[in-house]
Every structure is written in structure tokens, then in C-alpha cells.
A = this chain, B = another copy of it.
């Protein structure tokens, strides 16, 4: 089976950011495995400013990890 998270290394900072977004979403699936429930909740929080800011905070926490894992992509040329 393919892993959904084979590595924290990404080619670019932008890819690292996308990975952070993914990492934030997977925890929600782990707590609420029912896709139908998640689909029902989605429009609710996607139109709620507080929820959007809270999601952004989770992404920020994961991005810190991914960025450190990639040495902040310092060695790109």
C-alpha cells in the first residue's frame, strides 16, 4: 500500500505548504472517519471566519515542521 506521507521533504516551499495543508486535514479524518459527516461539516466551517482562521493556525503549525524538515529550502539555487 502506498503511504499518504512517504516523506516530509519537498522540492519547493510551495509544495511544503501544500503538504502542511494536507497534514492538517488528515487529523480531521482520523477523528471523524465518516466522509459523509465531514462533507456535511465542510460548508459550515468554510463560511465561518473563526473556523477558517483556526484551520490557518493548524496549517501554520505543520508548516513550521515541514519547513524545518527541509532546512527551510535554503540550499535551493
Contacts and interface: CB of A to CB of B under 8 A. Distances in A.
A69 B64 CA distance: 10
Contacts of A31: 45-46, 52, 55-56
Interface residues of A, number: 52
Copies in the complex: 6
Nearest to A24: B56
Contact of A45 (B5, B53, B63): B53
A32 to B, nearest CB: 5
Contacts of A58: 53, 56-57, 60
B49 A44 contact: yes
Interface in A13-34: 13-14, 17, 21, 23-28, 30-32
